[in-house]
């Protein structure tokens, strides 16, 4: 067994992401590897590792590697490399700054789960804007 594990956990200090390749031969080995990864995640939290650092680490390791795949309702498939997302999230960060947003401000993000969500969120994180997420289905339920 093997694959790619992307984990998100709160670590007691806000949500953080870990990106890890793994290759295991049994469920027991998988459990051991996940426990070791949990320990590594907790150690990263203690050193202040954040989502932007995680992003730049992944970008540096694999700039041309596929990062996101989106299948549209009409069946078209859109592929995004780490470099594609970097370019688009930088555009978003520059746009937000041009609109007066700055480190410490809070911005609401109302968007479905799609690549533009990741691009927008990463752009906000790059300039230090706090993000409040709202999913359209939840907003509709609440009367929004």
Show me where the domains of the chain are located: 1-49, 51-144
109 is written with which tokens? 């993000």
> How does residue 42 score in pLDDT terms, banded at 50, 70 and 90?
low
The single residue listed with the structure tokens 């706090």 is 130
Distance of alpha carbon 18 from the chain centroid: 10
Rounded Cα distance between 101 and 13, Å, is 24
pLDDT higher than 90, residue 65 = no
| CATH 3.40.50.980 correct for 51-144 | yes
Quick check: helix, strand or coil at residue 109?
strand
CA distance 113 to 136: 9
User: Lowest-confidence range among 20-34, 62-76, 104-118?
Assistant: 20-34
Tell me what the mean pLDDT of segment 10-19 comes to: 42
DSSP 90: H
Q: How many CB atoms lie within 10 A of CB 77?
A: 8
CA distance 19 to 115: 18
State residue 132's pLDDT score: 85
């Amino acid at each position: 067994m093997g694959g790619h594990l992307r984990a998100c956990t709160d670590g007691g200090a806000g949500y953080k992401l870990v990106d890890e390749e793994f290759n295991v031969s049994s469920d027991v080995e998988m459990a051991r590897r996940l426990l070791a990864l949990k320990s590594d995640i907790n150690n990263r939290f203690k050193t202040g590792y954040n989502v932007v650092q995680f992003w730049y680490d992944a970008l540096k390791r694999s700039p041309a590697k596929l990062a996101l795949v989106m299948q549209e309702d009409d069946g078209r498939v859109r592929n995004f490399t780490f470099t594609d997302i970097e370019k688009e999230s930088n555009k978003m960060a520059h746009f937000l700054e041009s609109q007066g947003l700055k480190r410490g401000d809070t911005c609401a993000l109302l968007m479905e789960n799609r690549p533009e969500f990741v691009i927008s969120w990463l752009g906000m994180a790059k300039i230090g804007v706090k993000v409040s997420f709202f999913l359209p289905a939840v907003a509709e339920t609440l009367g929004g």
